[in-house]
Amino acid sequence: MKKVIWITGGGTGIGKAVAIEFANQGWNVAISGRRENILKEVEDNYPNIKAYPLDVNDKEKCFDVTKAIKKDFGDLDICFFSTGTWDPKKEREIDVEQIEKVFKVNFFGTLNCIKSVEDHFRNKRDGIITIVSSIAGYKGLPNSTGYGPSKAALNNLAESLYFDFGRYGVRVCLVSPGFIKTPMTDKNNFKMPFLKTPEYSANQIYDGLINKKSFEIHFPKQLTLILKFLKIIPDRLYFYLVGKLTKLQKK
């Protein structure tokens, strides 16, 4: 019996690339997202990918999709929750409504999905729940009033759930991508160092989930290791270096 992975944000970007990678590796793949036409295009090109349209803000629909996947495929082995939103133009000031929207999708949308599979994995006592965060969640960055904090919240959530699901033999994994060329990063108007393709991401993620047992899958290492170093240096030095790198100016 083929193993089954459920991917949110599966119509574009990293989610789509991961869906194709797992499908090519012989997995049954369930993909979710809000845009049915985009999901259908992916589904039509791969016989072992099936679309399940979903707005992750709809708690009840998350449960319905979980039930439908288990009914159609018979099981669920890995969840890959990668839904996210970001509007760089609105991150330069404290736009409370925008920040609430970002948290609703990035954090609470992910939480809704995790809740919908909680009982399944606890009863199964096996499998992997994957939370996709970002390097933006490592430390505070300029012009990131909503996105970075929402990703930092996901990091903390993943660490907490690592213990809670670990009691049942279920792995919780955190994925922290650097700059990946997707429709979301296409909005950025700044230079993105070590920019990689979604296919590169999918290869790193597949290897990390299937072949390795580490908690965090982060890439590209040329960037993430630098940022991990910046996490542990004194705050005064961190603010100085990041300010220099981002040309932060006092106003």
What are the structural domain ranges in the chain?
4-245
Structure tokens at 103: 């948290």
Query: Which residues does the annotation mark as catalytic?
Result: 147
pLDDT of residue 243: 85
pLDDT of residue 249: 41
Q: What's the CA gap between 81 and 133, in Å, rounded?
A: 9
Options 3.40.50.10860, 1.10.540.10, 3.40.50.300, 3.40.50.720; CATH of 4-245: 3.40.50.720
pLDDT of residue 194: 78
pLDDT of residue 120: 98
Q: What's the CA gap between 91 and 200, in Å, rounded?
A: 28
pLDDT of residue 250: 44
Q: What's the CA gap between 94 and 109, in Å, rounded?
A: 22
Taking every pair of Cα atoms in the chain, the longest distance, rounded to a whole number of angstroms, is: 62
Run of H or E residues at 216: strand 216-219
Q: Number of H helices and number of E strands within the chain?
A: 9, 7
pLDDT in tens, the chain (251 residues): 799 999 999 999 999 999 999 999 999 999 999 999 999 999 999 999 999 999 999 999 999 999 999 999 999 999 999 998 877 778 888 999 999 999 999 999 999 999 999 999 999 999 999 999 999 999 998 888 999 999 999 999 999 999 999 999 999 999 999 988 876 666 666 677 778 899 999 999 999 999 998 999 999 999 999 999 999 999 999 999 988 877 644 44
3-state SS assignment for residue 58: coil
pLDDT of residue 51: 98
Residue 17 CA, distance from chain mean position: 13
* Among candidate residues 159, 164, 178, 170, the one with its CA nearest the CA of residue 220: 178
Q: Is 155 exposed, middle or buried (0-12, 13-18, 19+ CB in 10 A)?
A: middle
- Residue 177: cis peptide before it, omega within 30 degrees of 0: no
Instruction: Dihedral sign for Cα 8, 9, 15, 17, please.
Output: positive
